[in-house]
Amino acid sequence: MSSPSQTQTVTLAGGCFWCLEAAYTTIRGVTKVVPGYAGGTKPNPTYEEVSGGATGHAEVVQVSFDSKVITLKEILEIFWAIHDPTTPNRQGSDIGTQYRSMILYESVEQKKAAEDSIKAVAKLWPSPIVTELVPLETFYPAEEYHRNYFERNPSQAYCQVVINSKLKHLREQFASKLKA
């Protein structure tokens, strides 16, 4: 008899939430990925408001995972591999505070794991890590049309060029962590 799952949730920002969602949905042990907005001040922001850059929010994903299958440390290792944590307020051609790199923690344990992960990954990058480490105050789910965006729009240009490239890298680097 298998033991019950140990579900945890962490909120991550690393550029466009479509990219992060597409990546994490392929990972074994990840049970749910919800795109949304966090880190800002405006209550109940819309995509258009967040895209305008005035809300303070970033595009984020809430990643729920079974910690008996995949650890937070491993979730964060994937996070570092699928975005550039050294570019402030930008990922590729996506520019603005809404595309900044952040880990929004929900507990002292998550904060410690993130701090350890940042220290470890800092040794791998030639430039300083600019990823913000902040407590999650409020998460606002994105509009329904953003959910499973890559899965529903695989031939859209952004999906073809940007997301497919990230997924190819993910498959090469983390093949043992992918869902069957």
- 10, 12, 13, 16: the catalytic one is 16
CB of 139 within 8 A of CB of 62?
yes
Integer angstrom CA distances of residue 162 from 19, 136, 169: 8, 27, 11
Backbone angles phi and psi of 41, in degrees to 5:
-115, -20
pLDDT at 146: 97
Largest CA distance in the chain: 51
Q: CA Rg, the chain, in Å?
A: 15
Domain extents in the chain: 8-177
Is 16 in the active site? yes
Tokens of 147: 């959910």
Check whether 4 has a pLDDT greater than 90: no
| pLDDT, tens only, 38-52 | 999 999 999 999 999
Distance of CA 73 to the CA centre of its chain: 14
- The pTM score is 0.94
Asked if the model's pLDDT at residue 58 lies above 80, the reply is yes
The confidence score (pLDDT) of residue 5 equals 67
The token pair at 71 is 């650890």
Mean pLDDT of 50-65: 96
The architecture of the domain spanning 8-177 is 2-Layer Sandwich (3.30)
- Mean pLDDT, range 154-164, rounded to an integer: 94
Residue 51 token pair: 């895209």
Query: What does the pLDDT look like over 72-106, one tens digit per residue?
Result: 999 999 999 999 999 999 998 899 999 999 999 99
State the average pLDDT over residues 25-50: 97
Position 87, amino acid: T
